[in-house]
Each structure stands twice: as C-alpha cells, then as structure tokens.
Structure 1
C-alpha cells in the first residue's frame, strides 16, 4: 500500500461533508416532523445540539488519535523489525491479506468493546446518541488510546506489515464505515451478505432486545455470520437508537467521561481484588448482575435495566449499552 492514508482522508473530508449536507436535505424533504410516525422519523433528522456534539467529539478524537500514533507506531515498528513472521512482496496479494487481517482484528476489537467494560467506557460514546445519521459516524471518543484500541493492530506488524501500512489500513477501514451510518438507504440485496451495510449497522446501533450487541462488522459482513453475531434488520421492528440508560445530554465532555466515572465509582465500592478487577474488565453489566445476586444493594435503575436488556445468545452476551 504505497500511499499516505492521512492525505486520502483529508481528500475525503469534503465528500463526507457533502454527504451530510445531502442527507440533511433529503431527510427534511422525505421525513417531515409532521409524519404519522413522528418519533421514528425524528431519530434520523439532524439537530444542531446533536450534530455539534458529534463534530466536537470528532475533533477531540482526532487530536487524541494523532498523539496515540506517536506511541503506537514505534511499537509496531519494533514488532515488525524483530518479530515479523512474513516478508511480503508489494502487490495485490499483500494488500488483500492486510485488508482481511485488519478487518478480522477490527471485528475482534469491536466485539470486545461491547463485552469488556474498560473498552466499552470509550466505545459507549459512539452509541450514546439517540439519533442515527451520517454525522453519528463522527461521534468518537478521545479515550480510545487509553482503552487500548491501538494494541489490537499489533498482530498486523507480527504478520509482516509495516507501521505505515498498519496505520493506512486502519484509517481506510474507518473511512468506509462513515457511509453505513444512515437511515436514508434501505437494504442492498446481495451486498448484505458481503459488506457491512447501512441496514446491518442500524441493527448494531439499536438498543432493542433482539438487536443489542449484534453486527460488529467493519467492512466485511462475513465475520458476524461466521461467529454468530449477525441479526437482520426486521421491517416489523424499527431500531431504537442509543444506550439503555440514555445520556440525555449533548455535552461532549459528559459523553466522553460519563462511563469512566461510573466505572470508577463501581470499582471503589467493590470489596476484594477479584470484584474490583471485574468492575473494570468484566462485561459492562457485571456490576448490576453482581448486585442482583444480593452482594450489593440493588438500585431501582439497575433493576429496571435488567428487565429492559434481556439475554441474547448466552448468559454473558447482553447488556453492553448500559452505562
């Protein structure tokens, strides 16, 4: 991959803004506030508080990301120089291997971000809006470097890809995902079996019981089907966006830090190192399930959340939208 992805993303910035402008115009014409199902229509529309919050979060994330690469790139370089398993010849085969490997690692990162509270504390920012439109793609956390997102790409250096290639493919993967954050595009036929699509990603952002913690794809849809996390969007059940306990704020600082503060409080109230470690690294709803067993007081909000967020596949696979 012989190009600088930073320049690619800079070139795409006007495209992203143009797409947001088109979507806002399109939604204002096709989904008016006076529609019979006004609530469903409104969660696609743009509002200034939500959109400005998304923009502020994007700027904060970009600043943190640039600093994170200063730490991550030397780590990738060290692993590449001393431990790489393969030396690739430039060409399509190397690019395809890099693309598939990174997309699989993104799936692993994304799924872990819903199952490990430390990672969820950063990722919850992206899910905290009760709207879904293209500007939601900008809703990212400056805490991703602290959570450890960059560590998920170390295996790419081990597989013989240079730090420049690692950074490039990560940014390209994230750029693709901008286009799936929309309600203006329906299902895309056979592409639903191959790529992450708007329909597939609407499910991922929903907090409905049957949709929650599903569809973790970056670019390729195959991983969700292979690993049992795929759910199809059902026309009979419109996605309800957001997290189980609504943030109820467009303050970017609150969006960024509310789960870190909640996690710190839970850590402080737990007794014993096992419980404290679980408060940080167990699934996001572990503390409430811990309370439900009578090991700590059960609050009304916790009791309500246990009824709102049922199990999906297994006892462990539920409830990550609960900050």
Structure 2
C-alpha cells in the first residue's frame, strides 16, 4: 500500500541527488546559486519543520479524519482512480487559496514567511519549511473532508502536491514553453519568490498555474526585470528559531502597542506590512531597499568548514530522530527534539560569527561527549553498545577540540576577517 512515509522514504535521497546535480550544473555555467550559510539555514529549517511534524502531523490528519468520518454525508471509494485524480485536483485548488491567503493575511504569513526568507533561490529553498503551519493550515482542506475524500487519499495527495513543488525551486531550468502556461514551473515560481514590484504576491499555484490565470494572480517572468529573492522585511539572521517566530513577535508587539482594540485585532488579519497608524508613528521601521546587501556575515574558511561538517552530522542525527522518534516514549522523543533544535540554534550563531555561538557549541559537543561516555545512553536507548558509545563520545569530543582550535584561529586572524566572533 502507498503511504506518505513510503513516498517520503523514496523522495529524500532524491532531494540530495538533485541538489548535487543543480550545484554541478550551476558551477559548469559559472553561476553562483549556492551559499553555504544560506543552504545550511534552509536545510536546517526543513529539518526543524520535520522535527515539529513528528509531534504535530496527527493534528491536521486527526481533524481531517474526524470531519470526514462524522460530518461528510458520504465516503468516496479509496479504490477509485477518479477519486484520487479529482482529490489531487481539489487539493491543489484548496492549496492555491491557502497559499494566496498566506500572502494576504498576516497571521498566515507568519507561518509561510519562513519559506520566503532566503535571498537565494535553489533546491534547498524548497526544503525551507515552517514549523508552525499546522496551527491553521488544516482549515483550508475541510471542504475536501466534507465532500467525503478518505483520510488516506488526503494524506497522499497532499504529499504529492508538496513533493512536486521541490523541483520548481531552481534557477538552472529556463522557460518551458507550453508547460509554463499550464503548470507551476521554475520560471513561474521564481516570479512568486521575488520581491520586485512586478512579481509581488503572484503565482500561488502548487502543481497547476491555471488557478492563477483563472483568479487573476498570474505574472510572467520578465528577463528585463530579473527576480530578486527574499522578503520585504529581511530576516538578517541564521537563527532557525527566530526565523519561525519573527513575524509572530512583530505582530504581538504591534498589537500590544496599538491604542485601538480594533487595531489590536486588525494586526493579525490585515495584509503583511500593515501597521496601526499610531504604532507606525511611534515605532517607525526603515523603508525596504531592494538593493540592500545580501545577508552574509564574514567568518573564516576554517569556521565555515567546521559548520558544514557539523551540520552534516546533524543531518544524520535528524534522520535517526525521524526513524526512532515514532517508536519512542514522548519524554525521550521530546528531549531528542529539543537537543536537535538547540544544535541548530547554536550553529546559527556560529554562522553569524558571534562569540556566544562558540560557547553554545562547546556546551553541545563537549556535553554530549561527556554524557554519552559517562551514561552509556542515547535518546531512547538505555544501554548503548560500548563501542558505539565510545565512537559517539569520540566524535563529539573531537568536535569540541576542533572548535577550540578554530576559535583560536579566528582570534589570531580577526583583522583579516572582522572583529572575531563579536
């Protein structure tokens, strides 16, 4: 039987193969489409989204299942090919409206903004996903439940719709002729991610771009006005936790400071960027400059290599977590999740060249080495094989020692980089 888990198990290796192909093609064409700090941040946010999803994926599925079971007047047959085809088309239409509202309603933008924060556009951007979309996104798909589409159909077509959108996040695929007129394509989606006036808030389609043509939100990519990526309130951070809460925090502050009770509510439901007049007057923000410099704090090559290596190890731990967590009790699974979130948080500070990042990372690496060596345990595993425990302690101990050497190098070469880890 086809299940979302099986589909994802097939897809994940393909993601990284295609990322490697894209990188090679871009290099061959002499184009810089990848920056290690941005790619780490995007992949880390994707990893964070998957971690959160372990604890929340049953939330949306459970609500959908309840509506489909208790409120739908009938149940469509899951063994009918037409149910699957119509289900995918209906899901894509509902996705279009959720996506559009995600750009038009501030509280929905607060979740979706994570996907748009990167100032690069490549296949790692596709994996840059929110950790809070589960809170309200389920509402958009209730019509599908009420029409009787079985839960398993909903779960699979949702994943198919999501996976399709992976390949359109690239600059190395150009125009595709008739395909661009019917389907969401790299050209169409590049326009969607752009902050240029021409492209802003257009091309919401997931698989089909015809929804945008029908509902008046389509724009064609223009070679005379190449897309510039990011958001109009640049994140300016490699902190994955802050990336997920920045807009929520801004809304909370504006709602708190607004004098009118109506404005306190409007902050959440108005379009992104809207602020009460009194709040904007007392707490002004700088105008958006489309020509602003790409966010990329300077760090040494050795520190950058350290971050890449450590992130590679974190990806392996993330895969282990996704495999192990569903079989674990809640407390150790949650502890493992917090550990991984902390690790991504610390790595973000290192990529920003901040001194606190060194201390947070030393606490992580040295602390992990010491705890595993002393306890002989890992998350959800009461008694590690002695050889595995020694290997884990050695890897993290070596990481701590290497970081000390890197930090020493940074201090000695501070003038050639920037104030060291300041």
Stretches of 4+ aligned residues off by more than 6 angstroms: none
1:214 CA displacement: 0.4
Aligned-partner Cα distance in 2 for 1:205–1:252: 19
1:268 CA displacement: 0.6
Alignment-derived partner of residue 14 in structure 1: 13
1:47 to 2:31 alignment: no
1:66 CA displacement: 2.9
1:219-240 per-position Cα deviation (integer Å, ceiling 9, x unaligned): 0111000000000000111000
Alignment-derived partner of residue 237 in structure 1: 225
- Does structure 2 retain, via aligned residues, the 8 Å contact 1:64–1:145? no
Kindly report which structure 2 residues correspond to 1:165-314, keeping only aligned pairs within 5 A, or say none. 165-287=153-275, 290-291=276-277, 296-297=280-281, 301-302=285-286, 304-305=287-288
User: Between Structure 1 and Structure 2, whose CA radius of gyration is higher?
Assistant: 2
Alpha-carbon RMSD: 1.7
**TM-score where L is the length of structure 1:** 0.85
User: What is the DSSP-based 3-state SS (H/G/I as helix, E as strand, rest coil) of the residue aligned with 1:297?
Assistant: helix
Aligned-partner Cα distance in 2 for 1:284–1:156: 28
Aligned residue pairs: how many? 289
Q: Which of residues 124, 127, 140 in structure 2 aligns to 1:135?
A: 124
- Where structure 2 has 5 or more consecutive residues not aligned to the other structure, the ranges are 291-422
- Does structure 1 retain, via aligned residues, the 8 Å contact 2:111–2:244? yes
User: What is the DSSP-based 3-state SS (H/G/I as helix, E as strand, rest coil) of the residue aligned with 2:167?
Assistant: helix
1:82 CA displacement: 1.9
**TM-score where L is the length of structure 2:** 0.66
1:257 CA displacement: 1.5
Aligned-partner Cα distance in 2 for 1:121–1:31: 36
Alignment-derived partner of residue 59 in structure 1: 47
1:248 CA displacement: 1.8
- Where structure 1 has 5 or more consecutive residues not aligned to the other structure, the ranges are 33-41, 309-323
- Does structure 2 retain, via aligned residues, the 8 Å contact 1:64–1:142? yes
Aligned-partner Cα distance in 2 for 1:243–1:79: 36
1:247 CA displacement: 1.5
1:194-223 per-position Cα deviation (integer Å, ceiling 9, x unaligned): 110000000000000010000001001110
Aligned-partner Cα distance in 2 for 1:92–1:63: 33
Relative contact order higher in (CA < 8 Å, ≥ 6 apart): 1
1:92 to 2:66 alignment: no
1:65 CA displacement: 2.1
1:174 CA displacement: 0.4
